[in-house]
Amino acid sequence: MTMAQNPMISVVVPMYNEEEVIDVFFEAITPVLRSLTDNYEIICVNDGSSDMTLPKLIAARNNDPAIKIVDLSRNFGKELALTAGLDFATGDAVVPIDADLQDPPELITEMVQKWRDGADMVIAVRSDRDNDGWFKRKSAELFYRVAGRLSDTGIPDNAGDFRLMDRKVIEALRAMPERTRFMKGIFAWLGFKQAEVTYARPKRAAGTTKWKFWKLWNFALEGIFSFTTLPLRIWTYIGFAVSVIAPAYGSFIVVRTLIFGNDVPGYASTITLILFFSGLNMLGLGILGEYVGRVFMEVKRRPLYLVREAIGLELEKEER
């Protein structure tokens, strides 16, 4: 392991309209990193911000050249912004962190300790979600329960993207080419020697959350559909059940007609069955469509993100 006295530590920060927190963020994180090593970099990914985020980053870089900037061509969303940052990071250990100080930088000290003790991935686990709203808390709980049941690897509860990863984990991560990037799922799939540190998640330092209801909903669907093909299999079982029940019911009707004759009843039951099964059909098609759509997105082989400018970083590592 590259466990030098002075390991290179990379911090990766996706930023979308974070002008209000940038200065506080650097004030908080720089002393922590300086106390750990002489050799660090803070890779800030400007995810198509429309405010003063980029000029503020450039100003901050004038004071500390360890601050490096990846300026994306537009807003790609947190997951892809993070991917871009991880691609550029060169550290022996790499830590993705939110800009709004909801991921406390002090925790990095503890993470580095566990990394030095031999863990490849040190996950920050929230001990509570009191500072999230009721709705976000409940929906997160439900999501983790469903996703955990559906997938083989499971997604650890209450763990976000905030974690420390060894270089070998980063290389493994970089070898995953898919464009539907549900980071929590990808992290869980990787495995490696994991350790945890716990913390209470504070409120945003300033600014507002970038998540809206639909975004969260789509994020949750993304999590399930990009992570497991189990919903496809449900249709095999439903189809099986129907094909077992249908002949039985059919025989019942035939026998009943032979015995009691046919008085042409059954309008209500026919309509009910037609509606029910066409509903099921459409649902099945929709779920199939979710996967076909994802296959379509993947085969286009577009780059995951586009870099407008990389300041202080080698450009050869550009988009993939």
The reply on whether position 103 binds ligand UDP by CB under 6 A is no
Q: If binding is defined by CB under 5 A, does position 100 make contact with Mg ion?
A: yes
Q: What is the spatial distance between Cα 210 and Cα 122, in angstroms, rounded to a whole number? A: 26
For residue 106, give the DSSP letter: T
Least gap, CB of 147 to ligand UDP (angstroms): 17
Determine if 105 is a binding residue for ligand UDP (CB under 6 A). Answer: no
Q: Any contact of residue 209 with ligand UDP (CB under 6 A)? A: yes
- 78 touches, from Mg ion, ligand UDP, none (C-beta below 5 to 8 Å by class): ligand UDP
Choose which of 47, 71, 92, 120 interacts with ligand UDP (CB under 6 A): 47
Nearest-10 crossing angle of helices 22-36, 53-63: 30
Specify the stretch interacting with Mg ion by CB under 5 A; choose among 75-83, 97-105, 151-159, 245-253: 97-105
Q: Strands 67-72 and 194-200, how do they pair?
A: unpaired
The residue whose two tokens read 């892809």 is 80
Q: Quick check: 139 binds ligand UDP (CB under 6 A)?
A: no
Q: CB 230 → ligand UDP: shortest distance, Å?
A: 26
Length, in residues, of the chain: 320
- Shortest spacing between CB 206 and Mg ion, in angstroms: 11
First vs last C-alpha separation in the chain: 27
Which residues in the 212-271 window bind ligand UDP by CB under 6 A? Answer: none
Q: Is 100 in the site for ligand UDP (CB under 6 A)?
A: yes
Is the dihedral angle over the CA atoms 236, 239, 244, 247 positive or is it negative?
negative
Shortest CB 250 distance to ligand UDP, Å: 53
**Cβ contact 147:219 at 8 Å:** no
Q: How far apart are CA 132 and CA 155, in angstroms?
A: 19
- Whichever of 174 and 210 has its CB closer to ligand UDP, that residue is 210
Beta strands in the chain (DSSP E): 9-15, 40-46, 67-72, 93-96, 121-128, 159-166, 194-200, 307-311
Judged by CB under 6 A, the residue of 78, 114, 167, 184 near ligand UDP is 78
Query: Among 6, 21, 26, which residue's Cα sits nearest to residue 206?
Result: 21
Shortest Å distance, C-beta 82 to ligand UDP: 7
Count of residues interacting with ligand UDP (CB under 6 A): 17
Indicate which single residue of 102, 151, 194, 226 sits in contact with Mg ion (rule: CB under 5 A).
Answer: 102
Select from 34, 42, 136 the least CA-distant residue to 88.
42
Instruction: State yes or no: residue 70 binds ligand UDP (CB under 6 A).
Output: no
Binding site for ligand UDP (CB under 6 A): 14-16, 18, 47, 75, 77-78, 81, 98-100, 102, 204, 209-211
